[in-house]
Amino acid sequence: MIRPSARFASALALFALSLPVIQATAQENVPAAPESSTTVPSGPAPAAVPVFPKPDPANFTAALPTKETVDAFLQASWGYDESRVWEVWAIQKTPAEGISKVTILLGDKTGKQKSTVAEFFALPDGKHIIAQSDILPFGEHPFTDYRAIAQQRADGPYRGSAMKDLEMVEFADFQCPHCKEAQANMEKLAVDFPKARLVFQSFPLISIHPQSARASAYGVCVAKLGGSSAFFTFAASVFEGQEGLATEDGATLTLNSSVTKAALDPAKIAECATTPATKATVDAQVKLAQDLNINQVPVLLINGRHVPANAAYDTIKQIILFQAKLDGVSAQ
């Protein structure tokens, strides 16, 4: 069951560890994870670059993953933030064959944040971890598989380049207030990254937003009959009038008005929206989000990397530039 939550989604852009790196509200279908009970060296908040205790070789009892792989994973996840420092503290066997427990000490060079600990469990396939309640991608190039899936299946309306070298896929629900807030970021991205491909994929959270699937169906039909330009005009209008989606009658007025602003016929769009083909398209968009392990909105997938779409714009931009460099593609 999908339900709203106001907890900070620092997990999303990294790998679901409770870190104050990216803070953004979201609507999702998972509860807040419990605090870690791991005992590690601790102390008062640092005033300078943290100096971590030297790891004990006795804490490295698992053959896999290697420390080098974990470091490469952390660099891919956190390397955009030059102030962040870490130490791989332990890689230990567990009673479950092939599953290793990884413990990391974390800090930042500015000394503004107290050093803390993060833990996850590496799975035998070498490609996934369990961090709190999530199963997430792992490895030296953790976002490669998600990037390939998005390139193959993210077929929503788009702005910018027809090429997919730098592809940013927004997953949003027209009735989600946090998704509405994220639109300012999306507009800035379209201006700042003209070489990128910015795709919109609907992810209606129908259990909490009864009119979201209908709005998504209208969006599919607007894009089908009017193209991407018409869709983004429609979408901007729907988000602007989002309060109208609170009731069925209000949704009819809001959606029809938005269709008109996109220079299309509301009657034709309404008819299209009820067809089995349109429902199948919306269902496929939901399935894509699920296959990409997206369980909350708004999410921006940057070459396969999950980032809260309503995070601070400067942080999103920093991550895009870093990810583009990792992937060897031009960002601007």
Q: What is the DSSP string of 134-159?
A: EEEE-SSSTTHHHHHHHHHH--S-EE
pLDDT at 13 over 50: no
pLDDT at 96 over 70: yes
Query: Tell me, what's the pLDDT at 132?
Result: 85
pLDDT at 8 over 90: no
Counting every residue written for the chain, the total comes to 332
153: left (phi over 0), alpha (psi -120 to 50) or beta: alpha
In the numeric block, the tokens 């601790």 are attached to: 42
Give the residue-averaged pLDDT of 202-231.
97
Pick the closest to residue 248 from 203, 194, 205, 212 (CA basis): 212
pLDDT at 77 over 50: yes
pLDDT digits (tens, 9 = 90+) for 23-64: 456 655 433 333 444 445 555 554 577 888 899 999 999 999
Give the residue-averaged pLDDT of 290-310.
96
Average pLDDT of the chain is: 88
Rounded Cα–Cα distance for residues 123 and 64 (Å): 9
Give the residue-averaged pLDDT of 104-119.
86
In the chain, where does the domain assigned CATH 3.40.30.10 lie?
145-327
- pTM beyond 0.95: no
Q: Which residue has the higher pLDDT, 110 or 14?
A: 110
Q: Which residue has the higher pLDDT, 108 or 221?
A: 221
pLDDT digits (tens, 9 = 90+) for 127-160: 999 998 888 999 999 999 999 999 999 999 999 9
145-327 CATH fold: Glutaredoxin (3.40.30)
